[in-house]
C-alpha cells in the first residue's frame, strides 16, 4: 500500500465525509515553509486559510522552530498543578499587558473547545458561589460557532455541526445576531448603529435574570462564513451584560492575534470582556493550546479556604504544556520585534482592493466582506435577490477542488470562499491566490 491507501485504511479525518476522499484523496504533506505546503511529489500549495486559521506567521518559522527546540532540551512537559515553569509564566506576564484591560488571570486548556467549556463552567460557578445560583443559562448568537465538545457545541448555532446532536445539547437562549449582507433594517455595516441589537435587548429583558454568560465571537462569526459585524454591536452588548449581571465571554479563538487588524477584535470596540478564550494563533499554529483568561474579580470568587469547596476543580492533562508556551512566547516576540501587525495592515488594504477588483463584477459574487487580512466572498445564485445556491450543488467544494489543482488551499465554508492567510503573506502571494480564485470561480460557474 502507498501512503494514501494506508491513510484511507486507518484515518478518519475531521469534518469530512470520508466517501469524498475516494474522489479527492488526502494530500500527504511532506514539509512546509512560509506560506507553502509541499506534498510528496513536491507540488506546492499556498495555505490561504492558515491551516484552519491557526498558522499566524508561516510554517516552520525559523525563530519559532528554534524556540521550541531550545525548550525541548530543557523541559517537555510537567504536571501543572502545584508546578510551574518559566515559559508559562512569561507568556501570561506578556499577554496580560496586551489583552483588553482587566484580563489578568490565565487558565490553560489544550484546545479551543475546552477553553470555551472552562469559561462556561467558570461563569456558572462564579454565580453559584456569589449568591446568584439561578443564573445558570447561556446566551449565544444565531450562526455562532464555539467548538465541538458538547457544551461548546450547545452554544453554536450552525446547524451543519449541531443539528443531529440537539437531543444531547444544553438549552441555550439563542439571540438573532447581526446579518449585515442581508440586513433586515436595510442598513450598512459602516454607518449603522447596530439596530439589530434589539433582538438581544428583548432576550435580556426576558431572560437576563437566569443567565450567567453571553458568549460571542467578536466582529467575525468565522465558521458561519466569515460574517462580519460592526463594533457598535459589541459596545451595546457590553452595556447590556453589565445591566443584567451577565458575564461577557469573548471567543477570540479565531479573531485573536491580529486577524482583524488589531491584536484582538474587542480592541475595535474598546471593550473588555469578563473572559476571553484564546487558541489557534496563540501558538502560531504550532501546538494545541488554549486559554480562558478572566478578571481578578471572578478569580476572587473562587479564592477561599480549601474546605469551603470553592476551587475551580477543572483540569486537562496537558495544561500549560511548556513546548506550546515556548512557541507562544516566541510568537509574541516576533509580533512585537518585527512589527508584524503594522505591515499586515498596510498589505491588507492592497489585498482587499485586489479582491474587489478581480471578483466583485462576477455575476455570482454576492458579497465581499473584509477585515484585516480576512477577505470572504459569498457566492449566490442570484445577486439581486441574494438567493443562495442549493447547498446540494456544493458549489464551494467544486471551486475548492479546482483551486487545489492550481496550488491554492481555499477550503470554503459552504459557498463562502475566503482568504484568511498568515499575517506574513506577500503581495505576490495575494496576487497568485486571488487570480486562482477568480479563475476557479470562472471555471465552475462560467
Ligand atoms: C476553532 C474555534 C473554536 C474551537 O477550537 P478547537 O481548538 O477547534 O476546539 C471555538 N471557537 C471559535 C470561534 C473557533 O474558531
**412: Cβ contacts below 8 Å, ≥ 6 apart:** 396, 397, 399, 400, 418
Cβ neighbors of 314 (< 8 A, separation 6 or more) are 107, 118, 121, 122
Q: Whose CA is nearest to atom 11 of ligand 1?
A: 146
Cα Dmax for the chain: 70
The percent of residues above 70 in pLDDT, for the chain, comes to: 100
CA of 334 to the centre of ligand 1 (A): 24
Residue 116, pLDDT score? 98
Q: Residue 225 and residue 375: Cα distance in Å, rounded?
A: 11
Pocket flag, ligand 1, residue 289 (CB < 6 Å) = no
For residue 333, give the nearest of 27, 159, 136, 91 by alpha carbon.
91
Cβ neighbors of 350 (< 8 A, separation 6 or more) are 427, 430
Ligand 1 test: best mutation among 116, 141, 147, most atoms within 8 Å of CB? 147
Q: Whose CA is nearest to atom 15 of ligand 1?
A: 254
pLDDT-flagged residues of the chain (< 70): none
State if residue 283 touches ligand 1 by the CB under 6 angstroms criterion: no
- Any ligand 1 atom below 6 A from CB of 192: no
Q: At what angle do helices 395-405 and 427-445 cross, to 10 degrees?
A: 130
What's the pLDDT tens digit per position in 127-141?
Answer: 999 999 999 999 999
Shortest CA distance to 120 belongs to which of 214, 208, 252? 214
Which of ligand 1's atoms lies nearest the C-alpha of 290? 7
**Other CB atoms within 10 A of residue 188 CB:** 10
- Residue 251 CB–ligand 1 contact under 6 Å: yes
Q: State how far the Cα of 61 lies from the Cα of 54, in Å rounded to an integer.
A: 14
Cα(274) to centroid(ligand 1), Å: 19
In whole angstroms, give the CA distance from residue 157 to residue 145: 6
Q: Helices 427-445 and 340-359 sit at what angle, rounded to 10 degrees?
A: 30
| Residue 276 CB–ligand 1 contact under 6 Å | no
- Would the CB of 279 count as within 6 Å of ligand 1? yes
Q: Which of 151, 279, 283, 413 should be mutated for ligand 1, with most atoms under 8 A from CB? A: 279
- For residues 40 and 192, what is the distance between their CA atoms, to the nearest angstrom? 50
pTM: 0.98
257 lines ligand 1 (CB under 6 A): no
- Per-residue pLDDT at 446: 87
Question: Does ligand 1 have an atom closer than 6 angstroms to the CB of 253?
Answer: yes
Of 271, 370, 398, 391, the closest CA to residue 252 belongs to 271
Amino acid at each position: 500500500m502507498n501512503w494514501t491507501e494506508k491513510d484511507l485504511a486507518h484515518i478518519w479525518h475531521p469534518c469530512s465525509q470520508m466517501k469524498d476522499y475516494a474522489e479527492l484523496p488526502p494530500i500527504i504533506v511532506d514539509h512546509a515553509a512560509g506560506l507553502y505546503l509541499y506534498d510528496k511529489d513536491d507540488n506546492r500549495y499556498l495555505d490561504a486559510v492558515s491551516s484552519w486559521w491557526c498558522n499566524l506567521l508561516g510554517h516552520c518559522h525559523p525563530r519559532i522552530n528554534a524556540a521550541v527546540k531550545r525548550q525541548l532540551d530543557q523541559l517537555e512537559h510537567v504536571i501543572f498543578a502545584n508546578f510551574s515553569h518559566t515559559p508559562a509564566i512569561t507568556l501570561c506576564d506578556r499577554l496580560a499587558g496586551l489583552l483588553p484591560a482587566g484580563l489578568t488571570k490565565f487558565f490553560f486548556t489544550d484546545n479551543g473547545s475546552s477553553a470555551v467549556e472552562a469559561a462556561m463552567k467558570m461563569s456558572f460557578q462564579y454565580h453559584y458561589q456569589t449568591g446568584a445560583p439561578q443564573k445558570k443559562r447561556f446566551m449565544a448568537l444565531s450562526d455562532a460557532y464555539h467548538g465541538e465538545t458538547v457544551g461548546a457545541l450547545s452554544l453554536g448555532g450552525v446547524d451543519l455541526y449541531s443539528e443531529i446532536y440537539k437531543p444531547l445539547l444544553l438549552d441555550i437562549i439563542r439571540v438573532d445576531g447581526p446579518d449585515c449582507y442581508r440586513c433586515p433594517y436595510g442598513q450598512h455595516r459602516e454607518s449603522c448603529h447596530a439596530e439589530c441589537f434589539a433582538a438581544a435587548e428583548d432576550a435580556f429583558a426576558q431572560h437576563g435574570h437566569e443567565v450567567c454568560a453571553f458568549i460571542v465571537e467578536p466582529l467575525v462569526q468565522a465558521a458561519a462564513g466569515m460574517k462580519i459585524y460592526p463594533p457598535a454591536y459589541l459596545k451595546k452588548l457590553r452595556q447590556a451584560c453589565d445591566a443584567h449581571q451577565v458575564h461577557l465571554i469573548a471567543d477570540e479563538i479565531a479573531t485573536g492575534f491580529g486577524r482583524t487588524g488589531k491584536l484582538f477584535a474587542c480592541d475595535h470596540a474598546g471593550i473588555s470582556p469578563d473572559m476571553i478564550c484564546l487558541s489557534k494563533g496563540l501558538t502560531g499554529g504550532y501546538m494545541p493550546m488554549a486559554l480562558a483568561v478572566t478578571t481578578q474579580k471572578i478569580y476572587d470568587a473562587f479564592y477561599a479556604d480549601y474546605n469551603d469547596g470553592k476551587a475551580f476543580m477543572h483540569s486537562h492533562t496537558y495544561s500549560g504544556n511548556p513546548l506550546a508556551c515556548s512557541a507562544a512566547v516566541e510568537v509574541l516576540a516576533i509580533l512585537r520585534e518585527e512589527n508584524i501587525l503594522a505591515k499586515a495592515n498596510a498589505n491588507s488594504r492592497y489585498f482587499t482592493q485586489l479582491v474587489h477588483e478581480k471578483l466583485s463584477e462576477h455575476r455570482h459574487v454576492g458579497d465581499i466582506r473584509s477585515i484585516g487580512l480576512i477577505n470572504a466572498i459569498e457566492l449566490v445564485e442570484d445577486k439581486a435577490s441574494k438567493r443562495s445556491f442549493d447547498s446540494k450543488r456544493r458549489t464551494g467544494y467544486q471551486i475548492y477542488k479546482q483551486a487545489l489543482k492550481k496550488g491554492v488551499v481555499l477550503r470554503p465554508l459552504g459557498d463562502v470562499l475566503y482568504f484568511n492567510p498568515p499575517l506574513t503573506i506577500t503581495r505576490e502571494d495575494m496576487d497568485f491566490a486571488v487570480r486562482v480564485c477568480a479563475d476557479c470561480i470562472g471555471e465552475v460557474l462560467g
